[in-house]
Structure 1
Amino acid sequence: MLNKDIRNHFPILNQEINGHPLVYLDSAATSQKPQKVIDAIKHYYEYENSNVHRGVHTLGNRATEAYEGAREKVRRFVNAKSTEEIIFTRGTTTALNLVAQSYGQANVQEGDEIVITHMEHHSNIIPWQQLARAKGATLNYIDLESDGTISLDKVREVITDRTKIVAIMHVSNVLGTINPIQEITEIAHAHGAVMVVDGAQAAPHIKVDVEALDCDFYAFSGHKMGAPTGIGVLYGKKRLLENMEPVEFGGEMIDFVGLQESTWKELPWKFEGGTPIIAGAVGLGAAIDYLEEIGLDNIERHEHELAAYALERFKDVEGLTIYGPMNADERAGVITFNLEGVHPHDLATVLDMNGIAVRAGHHCAQPLMKWLDVSSTARASFYVYNTKEDVDRLVDGLRTAKEYFSDVV
């Protein structure tokens, strides 16, 4: 387990909620921010704030160095070959839409197929629905095993020579399932398809190596890994990005503008129209520094241990249904559940009264809710600052909720 003192790195956690010490178990929605990230953003605004790339004055140069320095940190973080392959976006959603609107519009034709799974977040469903509708393509789904995992045999059944795009999340935000992206990528490439990975729930928690995965695109968000909201990343293979058209046009991304036509800057800037999210990139760079100091392998190990401990402790709560793999080695630090006789929103409300923050709802995964045959669930998600004591508090809170609603009935 990681040192419990890590909790003190996150100032927001040093407070009480409804008279109880805060237990934050909603990092899959957004993570809390370490003081180092807060300080880095503050320092940028106090000493470096300026627009990037275009100025020749000192502040402009400082801002550009900070912004492009963050891009290099991201490149190293995911092991991309070049910073030309790292596009800053507003988040995972924007990154996935960029791929659908640029690569997809140019390369998917009538009769082609796009393949996803039932577990996808809405951000990795709707862009492909829209693309399929616009191009007359077919959107096919890989069905899940009963425990919420993906069978490679079913992957081979669904991906065909007509498949042009396979888009799958690396880690499920509901089931916690860690998907075999490298193996699925091999299958996709064997049929001439490109592999798009939603890495929103993976990049903050496990070591990502895009070269080893061999995926063609990889998208993730800063706010789930200790960075601010509004900053994200699209990794793309250079040979693909070079042949893609921008989807946003304006300043920063242009080379020459004439009265009737314009040309674009080289990679990566042709995809970053307008003033970029400079402070967000600085914060993302600081978050990467922080996570690398701890070590992604240590973070992954810590969350596996927490998940294993939680799965064991949950056995003590009668009437609790857990979704996803029951083997902690097959899942990330996300556990979704329902308590018999208690609506997830009511459960989350009772837990909040006890200072415990969990998520309740469909988690932007309505097709998965339908597959699970539920309307909504509660979800606890762990990060570097969580401890076994947090799990104990959650179990106590679940028992309290069960007793409360039993008395109400």
Structure 2
Amino acid sequence: MFDIHEIRSQFTILNQQVNGKPLVYLDNAATSQKPNSVLEVWNQYYTEINANVHRGIHTLSQLATEEMELSRRKIQKFINAKHDFEVIFTKGTTEGLNLIAYILTQKLKKDDEIIISYLEHHSNIVPWQMLCERTGAKLRVIPIDENGILQLDYLDQYLSEKTKVVSVNQVSNALGVVNPIEEIIAKTRKNSDAYIVIDGAQSAPHFTIDVQKMDCDFFVFSGHKMYAPMGTGILYGKQEILEDLPPFHGGGEMIATCSFDGTTYAGLPFKYEAGTPNVGGNIALGAAVDFIEKIGHSTIQNHENALLEYAQKQLLEIKNLKVYGEKANRTGVVSFNLEGTGISSDVGMILDKMGIAVRTGHHCTQPIMDFFNIAGTVRASFAIYNTFEEIDLLVEGVKKAQRMLS
């Protein structure tokens, strides 16, 4: 049985007041709060087994190594990777995407093409632009319609023997639009030999992920959006591809042998994990996976979708309120503006005075804002601990903001 009160009791931070009001935290697409079980695991590492991994024969080093590798295996199962060494620990989605764009440099040449979409976070735009600058490749962008839905006819037109990379997100962070990843991958496989990269930052916290069934070449996500500490993330890559590509960073741990005459590189996953990792955070990421799986993906998705449906219905009853992506298949996010009331940050500041945390601005997706000819939106985003009563408070807060700003 799903017990929202029991779930909320696991998040101590939700008990506080902000500006004299009970905290209503609706900025989960930016970062989620952390359950006590995750924080306890993180704290336990630093208070009981703090040591570097893979390098020491002493007991603490061995214990730390065992715990971090256990976490890697949990994540392997979480995304259904074929091998645990296909799971690379990173600082987050941004580092994962930059890593991929860097190691693919030698695979692209002048006039090759990279396809992304209008719905991408800057982290899935800028690294590819930088790759184009290094190689002379060209960027092509799948457009959207007025509901934020990708126009895949353009993908059909763009795909060719020149296509070397197709990189898209599974869920838009700005609009919550769920992209048809299976269709995009099928079209790409049929019409090109391109590497397929999926940004799962906004899907991993909400959906069951199966990278083998998906048949992507790379999948990246962040821990801090799925109840784990900041500075944690995962890059999944197919074994044969990662073995074929060069390292990203050089240093300790990623070598097999090192001399002044030359260096040979370690096998997977260590080839891509140079330096001391975020051991405590990586172990806690495994605990976040435990938390999600204990509740169940279907329970999480059903609850969050019910919150989204309720929130959109209530908000659309407010006169002169526009929801972006209203008719698209979405999850976890409602992005809106009060027309005629100034900038989104004004609404956000009024809501903050009522203890309600939302995100305002362009959400690191300026091309989306340019498409809609706006500076930004107010974004409310949901997690398993949010309630319908909190949405009622949000709606009342938006009404108050409208009265104050009109």
**Scaled by the length of structure 2, what TM-score is found?**
0.98
Cα distance in 1 for partners of 2:75, 2:183 equals: 24
Task: Name 2:257's counterpart in structure 1.
Answer: 256
Q: CA RMSD in A?
A: 1.1
Deviation at 1:252? Answer: 1.0
Task: Name 1:142's counterpart in structure 2.
Answer: 142
Cα distance in 1 for partners of 2:268, 2:106 equals: 18
Task: Name 1:285's counterpart in structure 2.
Answer: 286
Cα distance in 1 for partners of 2:166, 2:308 equals: 29
Cα distance in 1 for partners of 2:182, 2:264 equals: 36
Task: Name 1:100's counterpart in structure 2.
Answer: 101
Task: Name 2:403's counterpart in structure 1.
Answer: 403
Amino acid at match of 1:146: E
Moved more, 32-41 or 184-193: 184-193
* Residue-by-residue CA offset, 1:8-63 (whole Å, 9 max, x unaligned): 11111101111111100000000000000010011111111100011111101100
Deviation at 1:178? Answer: 0.6
Deviation at 1:316? Answer: 1.9
For these two proteins, the number of residue pairs brought into alignment is 403
Cα distance in 2 for partners of 1:43, 1:371 equals: 47
Cα distance in 2 for partners of 1:214, 1:226 equals: 26
Task: Name 1:185's counterpart in structure 2.
Answer: 185
Residue correspondence of structure 1 range 367-406 to structure 2 within 5 A: 367-406=367-406
Task: Name 1:114's counterpart in structure 2.
Answer: 114
SS in 1 for 2:308: helix
Deviation at 1:180? Answer: 0.9
Contact 1:172–1:201, Cα closer than 8 Å, also in 2: yes
Moved more, 378-387 or 152-161: 152-161
Contact 2:304–2:383, Cα closer than 8 Å, also in 1: yes
Cα distance in 2 for partners of 1:294, 1:242 equals: 36
Q: 1:2 to 1:316 in 2, by over 3 A?
A: farther
Amino acid at match of 1:93: T
Amino acid at match of 2:382: F
SS in 2 for 1:9: coil
Amino acid at match of 2:307: L
- Identity, in percent, stands at 47
* Residue-by-residue CA offset, 1:296-333 (whole Å, 9 max, x unaligned): 11111111111111111112211111101435xx1011
Deviation at 1:152? Answer: 3.0
Deviation at 1:145? Answer: 2.2
SS in 1 for 2:235: strand
Contact 1:177–1:325, Cα closer than 8 Å, also in 2: no
Contact 1:2–1:302, Cα closer than 8 Å, also in 2: no
Cα distance in 2 for partners of 1:342, 1:40 equals: 45
Residue correspondence of structure 1 range 331-350 to structure 2 within 5 A: 331-340=330-339, 341-350=341-350
Cα distance in 1 for partners of 2:2, 2:135 equals: 49
Contact 2:343–2:375, Cα closer than 8 Å, also in 1: no
Cα distance in 1 for partners of 2:189, 2:405 equals: 52
Contact 2:316–2:322, Cα closer than 8 Å, also in 1: no
SS in 2 for 1:174: coil
Contact 1:74–1:86, Cα closer than 8 Å, also in 2: yes
Amino acid at match of 1:121: H
Cα distance in 1 for partners of 2:151, 2:93 equals: 25
* Residue-by-residue CA offset, 1:276-296 (whole Å, 9 max, x unaligned): 110110110000000000001
Task: Name 2:123's counterpart in structure 1.
Answer: 123
Cα distance in 2 for partners of 1:342, 1:90 equals: 36
SS in 2 for 1:385: coil
Moved over 6 A (4+): none
Residue correspondence of structure 1 range 71-82 to structure 2 within 5 A: 71-82=72-83
Residue correspondence of structure 1 range 38-53 to structure 2 within 5 A: 38-53=39-54
SS in 2 for 1:132: helix
Task: Name 2:31's counterpart in structure 1.
Answer: 30
Please list every run of 5 or more consecutive structure 2 residues that lacks an aligned counterpart in the other structure.
Answer: none
Deviation at 1:2? Answer: 4.3
Cα distance in 2 for partners of 1:118, 1:141 equals: 6
SS in 1 for 2:307: helix
Deviation at 1:134? Answer: 1.2
SS in 2 for 1:73: helix
SS in 1 for 2:335: strand
Cα distance in 2 for partners of 1:289, 1:371 equals: 39
Cα distance in 2 for partners of 1:250, 1:364 equals: 31
Task: Name 2:232's counterpart in structure 1.
Answer: 231
Residue correspondence of structure 1 range 153-302 to structure 2 within 5 A: 153-190=153-190, 191-302=192-303
**Scaled by the length of structure 1, what TM-score is found?**
0.97
Amino acid at match of 1:54: R
Cα distance in 2 for partners of 1:244, 1:12 equals: 43
